[in-house]
Amino acid sequence: MKRIYLLLLFSLLALPLAAASARGSGSGSIVVGEIYGAGGNSGAAYANDYVELFNRGASPVAIDGWTLQYASAASTSWQSTALSGTIPAGGHYLVQLASGGANGAALPSADATGTSNLAVTGGKVAVVDDATALSCGASAGSCAAASGLEDLVGYGSAADYEGSGAAPAGSATNALARAGGGCTDTDDNAADFATAAPGPQNSSAAASTCSATPPPNGPSGSAGVDVDIQPLLSIALDHPTLSFPVAVPGTMPDPLPEHVTVTSNDTSGYTLGVHRTAFSPHDLPLGMGVGSGGLVAVPIAPTPDLSLAGTSGPSAAGGDIVATSVGFVSPLPSVPAGHYTATLTFTVIGK
C-alpha cells in the first residue's frame, strides 16, 4: 500500500516537472538582440520603436503564445505584444512598436506589431513564454524568479535587470545591441549590451548562428562545451600600507619588501610603473628597487612613472611577481619631528 502511495506521489511531482520541461524547450535560446526606443522622435533613425529577438540556440523555437512585454523603468505594470511563428536557429524576429512622431525611416517588414511606447532613458523589456503579464520589476532581481521569463533586459534607469546593472540607455541615433552579434548572454545586462547604430532585422534576414549553443533540455542529448575567455589585466600587492620603524634624521631605515603581482592574458604584454605623492608635511627621499638592484628615487606626479617591469607577451599563468623594496635613497634630512605620509601609486597598462 505504501508503495502505491509513493508511486502516486512521484507521479504527481513528476507531472509539473514534465510540463515545465516541455514549456521551457526554448529556454535560453530566444533573447532580446536589440532595443530601439526613440522611434519617430526628433532625430530618430527609424519611425517606430522596435525590439529584435534572436535565436542564439542551435534549434528552431516555436514562439506561438509567447509575448514580448514592456514596463517603464520602475513600474510593475507590463504591456504585452503577442508573438507567433517559429524562429530558426540564428534567426531574427522583429517586433515593431509605437512611434513618437513622424521622424526616421520605416522599419523593415515586422514579424509582430505592438503598441508599447518604449522610453529612451530607461525601461524593461521581457520575453515571456506565455501570455500572463508579469507583475515584478520594482527592484533589482525581482523578476528573476518570474514564471515563464525567457529573457529580461533592463536599460537606462530601469529598477530591475539581469546581473550587476542595467544596460546603457539608447538615444535617437543609437539602439542597444547585444554583444557578439546577439550571441553573448551572461545574464548580465550591463555587460551584455552596448549602444550601437540601430540595425533592425526581421525573419527574412540571413541567419547568423552562434558558435556556442545552449545545452538542449530533455532526458538525454549531447551538450557542446564552449567558453569565451576575455582579456584580463590584474595587479595585486602584498601590503596595502608600508610602515617604517621610528627613525631619526641622518639615518636610513631598512627597505621594506613589497611584492607586486601582475596577471595578463594579453599577447601584447603590459607595462608596470610607479609614482608617488610628496611626503607631508615635508618631502622625504623615497626610493624603490627591483630584486637585488639598488634603490632609485620614485618620481613625484606628474613626472612620468618609474618603470618597474614590462613584457611583450602574456604573464605566467599565476601572474608575474615583481619583488620590490621600498626605502630611502639617502639619509633622512633634518626635518621637524612628526608623522610623515605619502602615497605610492602602481600603474599597470596593457600594451
Partner 1 sequence: MRRVLAVLVLVTAAASITGAAAGGGIGLSASPLRVKLRGRSTAAVVVRNPGRRTLLVDVARAGFARSLRGKPEVRPGRGSAKWLRMRPKRIRIAPGAKGVLHVRAVPPPHATPGDHSALMLLSTRPLGVRHVRVRLRVGVIVDLRVRGRLVRRLEARALTVRRRGTLRLLQLRLVNRGNVTEPLVGDGLRISLLRNGRKLITLRPRSRELLPHSAGIAVFAYRGLLRGALVARVELSPPVEGPWRSFRIRL
Site for partner 1 in 308-347 (CB under 8 A): 308-312, 315-323, 326, 339-347
Query: Minimum CB separation from partner 1 for residue 344, in Å?
Result: 5
> Smaller CB distance to partner 1: residue 209 or 311?
311
Nearer to partner 1, 203 or 325 (CB): 325
Q: Please choose, from the candidates 311, 228, 313, 309, the residue with its C-alpha nearest in 3D space to the C-alpha of residue 267.
A: 313
Q: How far is the CB of 144 from partner 1 (least distance, A)?
A: 17
* 6: exposed, middle or buried (Cβ count in 10 Å: 0-12, 13-18, 19+): exposed
- 218 vs 240, beta carbon nearer partner 1: 240
Minimal distance in Å, beta carbon 106 to partner 1? 23
Contact 248, 322 (CB under 8 A): no
12: three-class secondary structure by DSSP = helix
Contacts of 13 (CB under 8 A, 6+ apart): none
Residues 142, 195, 208, 209: which binds partner 1 (CB under 8 A)?
Answer: 195
Give me the long-range contacts of 299-305 (CB less than 8 A, separation at least 24).
299/275, 300/275, 300/276, 301/275, 301/276, 301/277, 301/345, 303/275, 304/273, 304/275, 305/273, 305/274, 305/275, 305/347
Site for partner 1 in 260-279 (CB under 8 A): 261, 263-264, 266, 268, 270-271, 276
Residue in 41, 67, 171, 202 binding partner 1, rule: CB under 8 A:
171
The distance of closest approach from Cβ of residue 14 to partner 1 in the complex, given in angstroms and rounded to an integer, is: 38
Contacts with partner 1 in 114-143 (CB under 8 A)?
Answer: none
Is residue 244 packed enough to be buried (19+ CB in 10 Å), middle (13-18) or exposed (0-12)?
Answer: middle
Is the torsion defined by CA of 179, 182, 188, 194 positive or negative?
positive
Size of the site for partner 1 (CB under 8 A): 80
Q: How far is the CB of 218 from partner 1 (least distance, A)?
A: 33
Nearer to partner 1, 82 or 329 (CB): 329
The only residue of 58, 82, 133, 191 in contact with partner 1, by rule CB under 8 A = 191
Between 233 and 262, how does the x/- string for binding to partner 1 read (CB under 8 A)?
Answer: xxxxxxxxxxxx-------------xx-x-
Counted residue by residue, the chain has a size of: 351
Closer to partner 1 by Cβ: residue 59 or 186: 186
11 or 243, CB closer to partner 1? 243
The answer to whether the CB of 160 falls within 8 A of the CB of 139 is yes
Does position 188 interact with partner 1 (CB under 8 A)? The reply is: yes
Task: Compute φ and ψ for 33, nearest 5 degrees.
Answer: -95, -35
Residues 213-232 binding partner 1 (CB under 8 A) are 230-232
Considering only residues 71 to 100 of the shown chain, the ones binding partner 1 according to CB under 8 A are none
CB-CB contact of 345 with 301 (8 Å): yes
Strands 112-113 and 92-96: parallel
The residues in 283-302 that bind partner 1, with binding defined as CB under 8 A, are 286, 290-294, 296, 302
Could you tell me the smallest distance in angstroms from the CB atom of residue 133 to partner 1? 29
Minimum CB distance to partner 1 smaller for 224 or for 313: 313
- Cα dihedral sign, 198-199-203-207: negative
Give the shortest CB-342-to-partner 1 separation in angstroms.
6
Least Å from the CB of residue 246 to partner 1: 10
